[in-house]
């Protein structure tokens, strides 16, 4: 078998060289460093800070429009390689460093009370921008991990041409939410106050602002996005989406050892296999697995086959639930006792 690693390394060097050339060009035209904040999470002793540093026009940085960039514009921005970012948490300040793609993914030690907090981020003297962080209560024992594409948003993303169409062309207001999923997630978070919500996707960080607006507009609960970065790595032409999801789940299991996660995905591509492998390693950390079944037409668009699901060989301690929409999954969760039906919840005295 031919070793392609030297070619990949060359591609990586070329990619970085092109980005550095573009950075010099736009800086010569007056562009300045701008921080695009993402939602993070953490515990009472640390927070995970997520953001991206790009070069943009001074008037865009001053107005904050970079955060609202849409569609193809998210992919044309020039990242700031190895940017130093100041993180202001209350009266504390820390400095973290972005990677070669301008992505900030850093853990900062800080004492915080459980709940949502606002932090401030700045780079190269830029005006601080606000980011939100969910500090998870150590007494919380339930959390939700959800895929995005074809789970909460109907996209048929795995098909390359449709992926490009949805990412670069289609207006975000034209994207459709999966029926019943916002109601299901609202019920889950209402029944489990303080439960963390993590949206785990193989999508690029470039579309994080678009996804955040979509989730908010369709009344999904607020939560952190865990996305990935496209492009070559030292040993691959493209980053592995499956490895990104696997590593993210393992990290969550390590960071929050007392939380049982409800894993929600779809049967369009690899969610079943990824979740199944996680259950095999950490059955005690999984409350249940919910898989949204794609319709025959959606399955064809997603490049998968519409099929029945054999769960006989899976861990008996972890329920595997299948339905085509949020209402069906809610009914299955009701049947297992993992979700209390609205009519059976006790009334609260006025």
User: Above 60 in pLDDT, residue 23?
Assistant: yes
User: Above 50 in pLDDT, residue 237?
Assistant: no
Residues 239-292 pLDDT 10s: 557 899 999 999 999 999 999 999 999 988 789 999 999 999 999 999 999 999
Q: What are phi and psi of 38, to 5 degrees?
A: -125, 160
* Cα(221)–Cα(242) distance, integer angstroms: 25
Which residues contact residue 257 at a Cβ distance below 8 angstroms, ignoring those fewer than 6 apart? 285
Per-residue confidence (pLDDT) for residue 114, from 0 to 100: 97
Q: Tell me the pLDDT of the chain averaged across its residues.
A: 83
- As a whole number, mean pLDDT of residues 44-61 equals 89
Per-residue confidence (pLDDT) for residue 61, from 0 to 100: 62
306-to-239, 241, 303 alpha-carbon distances in Å: 27, 22, 10
- As a whole number, mean pLDDT of residues 59-77 equals 62
Q: In percent, how much of the chain has pLDDT > 70?
A: 74
Residues 296-317 pLDDT 10s: 666 655 555 545 555 544 656 8
Whether the CB-CB separation of 340 and 334 falls below 8 Å is answered with: yes
Q: Which domains does the chain have, with CATH numbers?
A: 29-135 (2.60.40), 142-344 (3.40.50.1000)
Whether the CB-CB separation of 149 and 166 falls below 8 Å is answered with: no
* Cα(303)–Cα(321) distance, integer angstroms: 22
Burial category of 300 from C-beta neighbours within 10 Å (exposed 0-12, middle 13-18, buried 19 and up): middle
Per-residue confidence (pLDDT) for residue 59, from 0 to 100: 73
Q: Could you tell me which of 72, 70, 87, 73 has the C-alpha nearest to residue 35?
A: 87
For residue 231, give the 3-state DSSP assignment.
Answer: coil
Q: Could you tell me which of 69, 335, 55, 339 has the C-alpha nearest to residue 185?
A: 339
Per-residue confidence (pLDDT) for residue 235, from 0 to 100: 46
């Amino acid at each position: 078998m031919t070793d392609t690693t030297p070619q990949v390394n060359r591609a990586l060097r070329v990619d970085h060289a092109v980005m550095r050339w573009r950075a010099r060009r736009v800086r010569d035209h007056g562009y300045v460093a701008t921080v695009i904040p993402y939602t993070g999470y953490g515990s009472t002793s640390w927070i995970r800070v997520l953001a991206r540093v790009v070069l943009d026009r001074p008037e865009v940085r001053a107005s904050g429009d970079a955060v609202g960039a849409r569609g193809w514009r998210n992919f044309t921005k020039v990242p700031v390689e190895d940017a130093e970012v100041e993180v202001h948490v209350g009266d504390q300040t820390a400095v973290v460093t972005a990677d070669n793609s301008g992505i900030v993914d850093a853990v900062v030690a800080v004492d915080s009370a459980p709940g949502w907090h606002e932090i401030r981020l700045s780079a190269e003297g830029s005006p601080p921008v606000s980011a939100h962080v969910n500090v998870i209560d150590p007494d919380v024992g339930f959390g939700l991990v959800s895929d995005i594409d074809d789970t909460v948003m109907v996209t048929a993303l795995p098909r390359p041409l449709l992926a490009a169409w949805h990412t670069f062309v289609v207006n975000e207001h034209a994207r459709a939410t999966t029926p019943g999923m916002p109601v299901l997630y609202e019920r889950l978070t209402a029944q489990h106050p303080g439960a963390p919500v993590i949206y785990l996707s193989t999508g690029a960080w470039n579309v994080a602002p678009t996804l955040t607006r979509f989730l908010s507009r369709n009344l999904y609960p607020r939560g952190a996005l865990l996305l990935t970065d496209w492009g070559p790595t030292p040993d691959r032409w493209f980053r592995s989406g499956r490895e990104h999801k696997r590593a993210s789940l393992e990290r969550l299991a390590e960071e929050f050892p007392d939380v049982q996660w409800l894993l929600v995905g779809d049967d369009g591509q690899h969610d079943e296999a990824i979740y199944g492998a996680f259950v095999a390693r950490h059955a005690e950390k999984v409350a249940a697995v919910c898989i949204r079944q794609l319709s025959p037409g959606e399955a064809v668009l997603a490049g998968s086959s519409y099929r029945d699901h054999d769960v006989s060989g899976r861990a008996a301690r972890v329920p595997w639930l299948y339905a085509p929409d949020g209402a069906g999954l809610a009914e299955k969760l009701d049947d297992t006792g993992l979700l209390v039906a609205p009519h059976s919840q006790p009334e609260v005295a006025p």
